[in-house]
Chain A
Amino acid sequence: MAFNTRIGPTAIAAALGLAALANAGSAQAVTCSSVIADKGLTHVIYGSGGSAITATLAKVAYVLSKANPPITVFYQDAGGAQVGYQTLKNGNGGTTARPFKYFLTLADVTGTPSQCTADDTTAGRAVDFATTGGTLALFDETLPTDIGTFIGPTQGVNVIVPKDSTETAISTEALYTVYGFGPAADLTGATNPIPWTKKEYIIQRASTSFVQQLLRGAIRSLGGNATSFPADWANAATPTLTHSASGKDDNQGTVDSLVWAAGQNHAQEAIGFTSGPTADKNRAVVHTLAYQHAGQTAAYWPDSSAEAFDKRNIRNGQYYLWDTNQFFTKINGSNSKPKLSQIANEDVKNFIGYFSGELDLPDGSDDVTKAVIDTGSIPLCAMKVQRETDFTGLSCYAPANPCGCFFEAIATKSTTCDPCSKDAECSGSTPKCHSYQYHDDQGAVNNAGYCEAY
């Protein structure tokens, strides 16, 4: 029917506006139970943890949602890694303040993910796993006897500044000064003083976040006065959530805060820190500072250069700020060096197994490994070093099935490794051919092979 009066379309528009508002309101109230029912999801698992891993987890979860059988992951990350771990212990996931994200489409991975809550948005619900960027020792947390720890990929922590900042490097001593003193720093005698002395542009995370605790540990390694460096830096810095687009304390919020500072014409005075994947995802607006750890003769980027994506200096131990992701879940039997087979929930076992690279996907593809690499994390098979603790005890590491060449090929779009399809095509110091099959984002199948040392 044609609109034949002036009031008709106006009323319709108003009605549409009200409907849109109603939908917006209901979007906040969508429960995960209704998502599961509407989409007919099976093999559903719930998790919680920090946001350092979110970019990687999102893509892995998307890949697994397409696997056969599909696994759907609901994951909450607001509040920091420690809060995420406590959610596993306390069974209070998916409240209104900390809803679950889920990743069933590419848009959920590259943009703002879909969200849902527990049926009880106040009390929340139990989760099946938790994950943190480093060990529980970072948070002085303990492990219950029925919870096991499993290793995931490695990630860097990046000290970042707005893209327009001319600063290129920072040291541990400078971190001590910036986050320990802020505006009170005494830079007397400095011939080229650091610009990070205004509290409103020095950005910190919550003390429950992995990235803040890793930075704190690096600072404390200076010894002396630094050994008492506090967990919270409120006297020197501004919380991420002040300018976080989501209004939450998370890794992306730090980037948002630096973008805000740049918008106030204070790019030079702004500084923060975030997970490597978050920094990589935001290279259009922030850049990473090279980091010079105490005793180091120069500052290095996580990658071989400021522009590279090869993570070479994390993989070989030259860049200090990195750690290995941990997964926590209920197990049967002893939690001393538990095996995947001890995980009580079969879907969680598969999820962690695929994520860590210990289990192959049902289709035999390397899609999870590629997803980990794509998002700025480092699968263990591409690492050349390991640590005994979060901060000390570096030693060389030989993964059972090295994938350094595949890592470089995916992360940097090129590699100097020799291509191959069988061992006979490899020689010299790289006699072993490793083959890979993966899907690109459009679903096309790709095959690759590279000669490795063993």
Chain B
Amino acid sequence: MNIIFLLLFFSLLIAVVFLGAFLWSNRDGQFEDVEGPAMRMLRDEQNKSTTNS
């Protein structure tokens, strides 16, 4: 069942890519604020209204 090695290889590859992404986002400060982004994303409608006025 050498195919299992192949699947493990690709699964682990994906896992390592995401581990890297996780560590990057932690170091980049993506997890510093775990409430603000949810509110910030609601915001663009108001943005439009100011440009119109």
Are both chains from one complex?
A: no
